[in-house]
Amino acid sequence: MTATPDAPSPTDRMTPLERRSSVTLALIYALRMLGLFLVLPVFALEATRYPGGNDPATVGLAMGVYGLTQGLLQIPFGMASDRLGRKRVIVFGLLLFATGSLLAAAADTLVWVIVGRALQGAGAVSAAVTALLADQTRDEVRTKAMALVGMSIGLMFALSLIVAPPLAAHIGLSGLFFLTGVLALGGVAVMVWLVPPEPAGLRSAPRGKLSEVITHVEMLRLNVGVFILHAVQLAMWVAVPTLLVAAGLSKDHHWWVYLPAILASFVVMGFTLFPLERKGYLRAVFLAGIGVVTLVQVGLLVVSSAPSIGWLATLLFVFFCALNVLEASQPSMASRAAPAHARGAALGFYNTLQSLGFFAGGAVGGALLKHTGTDGLFIACTAAMLLWLLVAWPMPPTPPKPPKEARSTGPAAGSQAA
């Protein structure tokens, strides 16, 4: 008998079904995000091969339109998953993403690349995937499950930095888009044949209203936070590559800094987030993560006047440590705070603000860098993080998990439809 997501469990270890759900849904994220990340490091350079590719505004639109359509459609896809079922909505979204990828691969002008990128973004399945993972895991292991997803995204980002340039040299941007489409179809296969069935009864449950989701106090805190985090993250990356080059590290070797920092930060997360969460310190760890990202912005402000590889590598390692903690704990808290009968809609709104945060971070970060330099950029990022800390501070504490002796005598777990 396997445990229901909300039933008491004799252990805080994942059940076989929870492990299968976590690994397969993380794999879907990985396949989708690898396809996206493979294009980003080389897009601006490869776009010059298309008519109109020398216009920075058009290239910027081609890069950013994905986030725009993604943000606009997260809520509709999340609400549809509440009503029609998570898996069929995810499959439909992945097929849209694959279609957009193949259209961009066949494009002979940048305008058609933009159309393909917009269609890629229309496959806005993040909320549905997160909701399905929340449906199939208990609260006690939810953060671990979300951490697997976060780790898969981080690893795909690091992998893309290494393999994208040589791949682009051999198959070009059109070949990368084709590969992206194939990876998305691989995600469809994983969803159909490997992801466990949805829990029974969710689609027949009463549905909440979108207004209920938008005005939910705890979700409001998390929604503000996810917007600020991803706006600051992208705004940082408007300047960080330039700082690394100024420190003497060529752009082809930036992964020498990114990859060790990302991998080591996973180890730090494993030794801090999960043990402290078990002891009831999730709120403290979460607030500390916000504080650490704030301090990193101050550090970048100080270092930017005379960048050095050592200091930048240290700051990025510390940043990734805090980012991984926040990326694992925040969606976990959002899935718990969201009303169960409207989880897809609530996470759709959450993911919408995440996508809009990326869009705002790129647009505002670029404008700040142009008009105020790195000082103005990192001062603005510091102020945004302090605002988030102020908003997040009233969040309620998380009680510690009961000791193993108490858990072992808890009520027996129910069965989950499979």
pLDDT for residue 5? 44
For the chain, percent of residues with pLDDT exceeding 90: 34
Name 265's Cβ contacts closer than 8 Å, sequence gap at least 6.
154, 317, 320, 321, 323, 324
* Of residues 251 and 152, more confidently modeled: 152
Q: Which helix (H) or strand (E) holds 414?
A: none
Over residues 100-113, mean pLDDT: 94
pLDDT for residue 259? 84
Domains and CATH numbers, the chain: 14-205 (1.20.1250.20), 208-400 (1.20.1250.20)
pLDDT for residue 47? 81
pLDDT for residue 418? 31
* Of residues 91 and 8, more confidently modeled: 91
* 120-141 pLDDT, tens digit each: 989 989 888 988 998 898 888 8
What's the pLDDT band for 403 if we cut at 50, 70, 90?
low
Structure tokens at 250: 């060529």
* 54-73 pLDDT, tens digit each: 776 677 678 778 878 888 89
Total residue count of the chain as it appears in this document:
418
Over residues 189-211, mean pLDDT: 74
For the chain, percent of residues with pLDDT exceeding 70: 87
DSSP of 16-50, one letter per residue? HHHHHHHHHHHHHHHHHHHHHHHHHHHHHHHGGGS
* Of residues 8 and 138, more confidently modeled: 138
pLDDT for residue 402? 55
Name 236's Cβ contacts closer than 8 Å, sequence gap at least 6.
297, 300, 319, 365, 381
Given CA atoms 276, 279, 283, 284 in this order, what sign does their dihedral have?
negative
pLDDT for residue 385? 97
Over residues 188-203, mean pLDDT: 84
Torsion on CA atoms 281, 282, 284, 290, rounded to nearest 10: 160
Structure tokens at 319: 């940043």
Structure tokens at 258: 């990114």
The most confident of 10-14, 80-84, 228-232, 384-388, by mean pLDDT: 384-388
**pTM for the complete prediction?**
0.73
Contact between residue 147 and residue 95 where contact means Cβ atoms under 8 Å apart: no
Structure tokens at 73: 């459609």
pLDDT for residue 408? 42
Task: Count CB neighbours of 48 within 10 A.
Answer: 12
pLDDT for residue 1? 38
Structure tokens at 265: 């930060």
**C-alpha–C-alpha distance, residues 79 and 128, integer Å:** 9
* Of residues 26 and 67, more confidently modeled: 26
Is the pLDDT at 165 greater than 70, yes or no? yes
pLDDT for residue 56? 65
Structure tokens at 171: 């198959």
Name 314's Cβ contacts closer than 8 Å, sequence gap at least 6.
none
Over residues 401-412, mean pLDDT: 45
What's the pLDDT band for 409 if we cut at 50, 70, 90?
very low
pLDDT for residue 208? 52
What's the pLDDT band for 204 if we cut at 50, 70, 90?
low
Structure tokens at 2: 């396997």
Is the pLDDT at 310 greater than 90, yes or no? yes
